[in-house]
Amino acid sequence: MPYHFGLCTTKQARVKYGAPHILHMLGRHWLLGLIAAVAVLTLVSGIQQSFAHPITINSSPKAFEGVRSPPKEVKVFFSEPIELGYSKISVLGPNGTRVDNNDPHNVERDTASISVTLKPDLPDGDYTVSTTVLSAVDGHVISGTLVFGIGSPP
């Protein structure tokens, strides 16, 4: 009897081959289940990789917040640890000049944060905080900005 490689029903398999066919043993929808499982695993692994970068999760002052008096420092917190030695933070004032003391450091030894102290007696206006950080987890460099206001919200 010649070999036939096409798919057939379990009844056809029993008649044609005289024994339970592999489709009968595994069920008709095993291939669809396998494809669905591979698709789900691919999507889940892709989601994990896309979140494997430091994301800003909090800051002080908060983004778009208006504070009454000038803060002494700006703090930015991330979703994962960063390499402080390869990361930067700067704060620009209303006229575009740098108003921080260029002294980046972690907040109380929190390796998922970066902070910088500010010059005293800052005037009212909008301030832009720029960060460029190197992830300690995957080595990616991520940049971001946020704005806050002194005197009123930006």
pLDDT digits (tens, 9 = 90+) for 30-46: 566 666 667 666 666 55
> How many H helices and E strands in the chain?
3, 8
Residue 2: left (phi > 0), alpha (psi -120 to 50), or beta? beta
Mean pLDDT of the 50-71 span = 90
Residue 110: which H helix or E strand, with range?
strand 110-117
Of 147, 146, 145, 125, nearest to 70 (Cα)? 125
Stated pTM of the model: 0.67
What pairing do the DSSP bridges indicate for beta strands 141-150 and 66-67?
A: parallel
